[in-house]
Amino acid sequence: MKPFKRIVLLSVTVGLLQLLLPGCVVTEPLPGPVAEITLTGSVSESEYTDGAYVPFFDRVLVVHGVVTDTDPMNSPDDWDGYVYIELTRLGDTAHYILSTDELTKVEGSENRWEFDRKLRLHSGWNTLRIFVSAFPGDSLTEKSELINLTGDWTYGREPVLCYLEWNDADFADLNLHTIDQYNNDCSADDPNVGGMVLDIGDSHGYGPEYITITNDQTGTYSVEVNYVNANGLTTALPCQVHVLVNGTELPQSPFTHTFAPDDVGETWQAVEVNY
């Protein structure tokens, strides 16, 4: 006689399971942590949500983020993780990295941290989102909702826009300067002079820094970068400067330069703009 074969049913539908086991409720998996993002105009202090129009005077936004420590048991009083804001505009995507000293622990929380970072929008469509991972290149642990904003500003409101980035060096301090033909020098030392406005200065490292030239009179502007402080950096420091005139980036832009380790205190002239 052939041995009896027992067939075991290994799976049942959710509906049958609930029928056989009254009171059994099948629930969805708990969601992972979600980064929170709030955008506020630096002038009006108005909050901007997805789909909002941002006027020119609020071109600099304060991004408030709340994120989750990727390893809270390692050092409860220190941030562990890698946070950046992804900003896409004019078809270009940039990652603005948060330095550890920009994050503070949320009061009463065991693993939530918060930050405020200024970002400068461009005329046209802008999208923003916060991303978190344990370290650069690792898989994401959380992200915020995607926020779309538009700033279709009137022609001539920003005849010249310059911005400086140095994404590869934490804490190293560079200063962007624009100097007009009258020797007015707009920088962190004098952020509003001669129709030139330092929209964003950065001393945490990575950048960016922005200067908007709102003076619509013709002139000559020297765009320069000063290596202020290495803050412990012992390797070369690459950087780049973008220059837009009437909303269009110059064909040669971005202008690139690498400061040597012993170049602290030196100034590099990126370009001279005739407008």
Query: How many Å apart are CA 151 and CA 7, to the nearest integer?
Result: 66
Per-residue model confidence (pLDDT) at position 204 = 66
Segments making up each domain of the chain, as ranges: 32-153, 155-275
Is the CATH number of domain 155-275 2.60.40?
yes
Q: Which pLDDT band, with edges at 50, 70 and 90, does 156 fall under?
A: low
More confidently predicted of 6 and 187: 187
Check whether 192 has a pLDDT greater than 60: yes
Per-residue model confidence (pLDDT) at position 224 = 98
Lowest mean pLDDT among 14-18, 93-97, 181-185, 222-226: 14-18
pLDDT digits (tens, 9 = 90+) for 206-219: 678 999 988 767 78
Give mean pLDDT, residues 216-228: 89
CA 33 to each of CA 11, 68, 117, 128: distance values in angstroms, whole numbers, following the listed order: 31, 7, 21, 18
Per-residue model confidence (pLDDT) at position 32 = 59
Per-residue model confidence (pLDDT) at position 157 = 67
Check whether 259 has a pLDDT greater than 60: yes
Mean pLDDT across the chain: 84
Check whether 11 has a pLDDT greater than 60: no
Per-residue model confidence (pLDDT) at position 167 = 67
Is the CATH number of domain 32-153 3.30.200.20?
no
| Domains 32-153 and 155-275 equal at CATH topology level | yes
More confidently predicted of 231 and 202: 231
More confidently predicted of 269 and 7: 269
Give mean pLDDT, residues 4-24: 40
More confidently predicted of 254 and 207: 254
More confidently predicted of 200 and 103: 103
Whether this prediction's pTM lies above 0.85 is answered by no
Per-residue model confidence (pLDDT) at position 93 = 84
